[in-house]
Amino acid sequence: MKKTSYFLAIIFLISYTSAQSIRIGPTVGYTFPNSQDLDIQSVIDKSLEFDGDMHFGAKLKIGLPMLPVTITGGFQYAKLSGSFNNLSTEQTIYVVSAGGEFAFIPGPIQPYGALDLMYTSFGEFKTSNLSLSESNGRFGIGFGAGVDIKILPMVDLDLSVKYALHNLIGKEDGEESFNTANVSLSVLFNVL
């Protein structure tokens, strides 16, 4: 009886893992910061906002069989800059995320809602070749919506819009929130 149970469990596990889909591919998009960075406020009496800029990265999607939920993972890099009078600033951010997407309707064009947990590593905050703060990391969340479009049997396009609260957890006293809106396009290739 035990051997039969083990055999059935192994067969079930193999069929379950082979029924899922795994897609991975590059991501490109635009990051719109909508928060002011506190570090610059200590240098000048007027606040400075970062300008939007391109971001690059990768996205992973693991589809679960028989469920409208997809597990996601991702990495993004963006170099943000801004200027005020003759003062220019620069900061890089690296974002690692894990989350899920809930599909509203099945089909070749599939809209979804998304929720991500993320870790953001903020690089040194620099102005005119002077480092004002060291790099640090914070935890946050992102939420948004998107659409998955099947263009070939093994290739999908994923267009998404997300709002990210980058330093929701782990803020120091007096640290303002750093939030961004992101528009991303991923080309995903089916691996399984």
Please give the chain's pLDDT, 192 residues, in tens: 666 666 656 655 555 555 578 999 999 999 988 865 444 434 433 455 677 889 999 999 999 888 889 999 999 999 887 776 677 777 788 999 999 999 998 889 999 999 999 999 887 776 766 656 667 889 999 999 999 999 998 999 999 999 999 888 887 777 778 889 999 999 999 997
Q: What is the pLDDT of residue 12?
A: 53
Among 96, 110, 87, 97, residue whose Cα is nearest residue 157 = 110
Residues composing the chain: 192
Phi/psi zone of residue 170: left (φ > 0), alpha (ψ -120 to 50 degrees), beta?
A: left
Return the residue matching tokens 């903020």.
122
DSSP single-letter state for residue 127: E
Two tokens at 111? 């809209």
Q: Which domains does the chain have, with CATH numbers?
A: 21-190 (2.40.160.20)
Is 8 in a helix, a strand, or coil?
helix
Q: What is the pLDDT of residue 4?
A: 66
Q: What is the pLDDT of residue 48?
A: 56
Return the residue matching tokens 């620069």.
90
Among 28, 52, 77, 22, residue whose Cα is nearest residue 181 = 52
